Amino acid sequence: MPETSIHISLAAEKIGTFFGVPITNTILMSFVVFAILGTLTRMQTLIETLFVGILDYMTETLEDANLARKLFPLILTIFLFIFTANIIEFTPGIGSIGWTHGDGEFIPLLRSMNTDMNTTLALTIIAFVVIEVVGVATLGFLRYGKKFVNLSSVLGFMVGIIELFSEVARLVSYSFRLFGNIFAGEVMILVIQHFVPMVLPVPIMLFEVFVGFIQAAIFALLTLFFVKIAITEAH
């Protein structure tokens, strides 16, 4: 049996030529490193440009640069959290690794977070509290409360009651919109995988990634728009 030896070479090994110029494995590796660094640099520039664009849009919407800078981390975190939660469900093992109870019911070890009503409701409560706190901090307690309790006229009182109910209704609409869309998409994929397991699930999954992005953007944008409504004084 031939013995194997340790290969040690101070000089780089030649792997080919390019127009008569020798190409070594270290040169090739340097090209790979340059490509990776160039990609990361372009991504960093793209991300920075994207963040600046989002901040500019928030400033334009809120008409307050200081408030936009304060809310920027929250709005962006909401979007990234929801979007990541929406697309991570397509990771192998999510929903498919688990155990079976004695009655034959399969319990997955991991499941998409936004298919749980508790998660979407918790996100909604966070957004709701932020909206109310920003409204009170910007307008003051009395001026903000005037939106809901207006005794200047019968019409003003009725409008205030409607505004109060609409604030509470956001908790329901916010959470059910996100939960319903993501849960329905997951169910649709499971049904399609059962009946047409070979080809059709792939485009449906790609579509669900798009839906996940849209739902994350809608949730973040609605939070921003409701903050704008909250800081607008009632007339």
pLDDT average, residue stretch 129-136: 90
- Which comes out higher in pLDDT, residue 17 or 54? 54
* d(C-alpha 67, C-alpha 229), whole Å: 14
pLDDT digits (tens, 9 = 90+) for 165-184: 887 787 778 778 887 777 77
Task: State whether the Cα torsion 74-75-77-82 is positive or negative.
Answer: positive
pLDDT(9) > 60: no
The domains of the chain are located at 13-62, 64-230
Looking at the predicted structure, is the pLDDT value of residue 11 above 60? no
Q: What is the mean pLDDT of residues 37-46?
A: 67
Residue 116: its pLDDT value, please?
Answer: 75
Match 């993501």 to its residue by tokens. Answer: 182
Q: 16 has which bridge partners?
A: 23
Task: Give the separation between CA 229 and CA 5, rounded to whole angstroms.
Answer: 74
Banded model confidence at residue 155, pLDDT cuts 50, 70, 90: confident
Residue 138: phi and psi, rounded to 5, are: -80, -45
**Residue 231 DSSP SS3:** coil
The closest alpha carbon to 177, from 209, 214, 129, 208, belongs to 214
Q: Does residue 103 have a pLDDT over 80?
A: no
* Distance separating alpha carbons of residues 155 and 160, to the nearest angstrom: 9
- Residues 6 or more apart in contact with residue 30 via CB below 8 angstroms: none
Residue 6 confidence (pLDDT) above 50: no
Above 50 in pLDDT, residue 5? no
Q: Which pTM was predicted?
A: 0.73
Confidence of residue 69 (pLDDT cuts 50, 70, 90): very high
Q: Quick one: pLDDT at residue 40? A: 61
What is the average pLDDT across 61-74? 91
Residue-wise pLDDT tens digits, 197-218: 677 777 877 888 888 888 889 8
> Which pair of structure tokens corresponds to residue 44?
């960093």
